Homo-oligomer: A and B are copies of this chain.
Amino acid sequence: MAASVKRVALVGGTHGGELTGVFLVKKFQQSSHLIKRHGIETISLIANDKAVEMATRYIDTDLNRAFNPRDLDNPQLTNHEQSLAKKIARRIQQEKIDLIIDLHSTTSNMGLTVILHDNHPYLLKLAAYLTQINSKVKILQHTLNQESSYLINSAKFGITIEVGAVANGVLDAKLFQETENLVYAILDYLEADNKGQPLSTPPSFTKYSVIGTVDYPRNELGVIRAMIHPQLQFQDYQPLHPGNPIFITFDGEEIFYQGNETVYPVFINEAAYYEKGTAMCLTVISEQLTVNS
């Protein structure tokens, strides 16, 4: 039997400083007709109110790394985000949510990125549709297993939307409106699908699949000793060839990409990833066929 999505959760503020999702969810909460679709129940929620209020990514730990099923079951884990994750996961379960759309923003130049976390044909077809209605939409495959600690893991299906480049604590009107339209496009698609009148999709689309991460060069104390090279800054989704400059030290020494194949970096210079040891994620490109689910 084909998959279907009847209950959706729109989540903003999983990270407190990412205002696009926060203000979109506030808008949806005030004007719920905007996200009403025939046959679909949609709830919208600010995940980390306290972090939003404090204008910070998180209070104690990254909420979007707090949903590992074992951690959710561990009564010892009680810091702000650990407790919050348990509460949110419980609500997602009680509301019988089929699909979580988690609205993020990034300081890297990711434009309008839709992240898929598995290879389910249902999501691939939705992704195909989104690339068709807006050629700026990029589809990024970042596969997670069932043990993942991301918020979207709480429901059967999950999509992360990442828009950028935008600084934390800042609203960019253009990105706000584009993200809003992307949310409506997803809901329209789900509605049509539920009605048995699926919207047309292209036969294939370009998919970027994460193959790994690259950290900043660091000294023996773990302090970074180089920055993203100016030629790579804001060049998300552009080809990086072996031998291309990738970092530059504080003294101006260039460091070159040592890989054997051309890759397409994303999340280049994302502020929150300095502490995670990630200067960028590397992806490879493929043409994904759209298959009926």
Which residues of A are at the interface with B, using a C-beta cutoff of 8 A?
23, 27, 55-56, 107, 165-174, 176-177, 224, 227-230, 233, 248, 250-252, 269, 271-272, 274-275
Contacts and interface: CB of A to CB of B under 8 A. Distances in A.
A78 to B, nearest CB: 22
Contacts of A165: 167
Q: Which 3 A-B pairs have the closest CB atoms?
A: A169-B271, A167-B167, A107-B167
B229 A173 contact: yes
A233 B56 CA distance: 23
Nearest to A176: B227
Contacts of A107: 167, 169-170
A233 B171 CA distance: 10
A227 B20 CA distance: 11
A171 B177 CA distance: 28
Nearest to A169: B271
Interface centre among A56, A169, A228, A252 (most CB of B within 10 A): A169
A27 B169 contact: no
A267 B259 CA distance: 41
Contacts of A176: 227, 250
A247 B173 CA distance: 9
A165 B23 CA distance: 22
A19 B233 CA distance: 16
A169 B168 contact: yes
A170 B280 CA distance: 13
A22 to B, nearest CB: 11
Given A23-B250, A168-B167, A250-B23, A173 B227 contact: yes
Contact of A227 (B168, B172, B233, B269): B172
Contact of A173 (B23, B174, B230): B230
A170 B271 contact: yes
Given A27-B250, A165-B167, A174-B233, 4 more contacts: A167-B271, A172-B227, A172-B233, A173-B233
A251 B30 CA distance: 11
A27 B229 CA distance: 18
Contacts of A228: 171-173
A176 B275 CA distance: 20
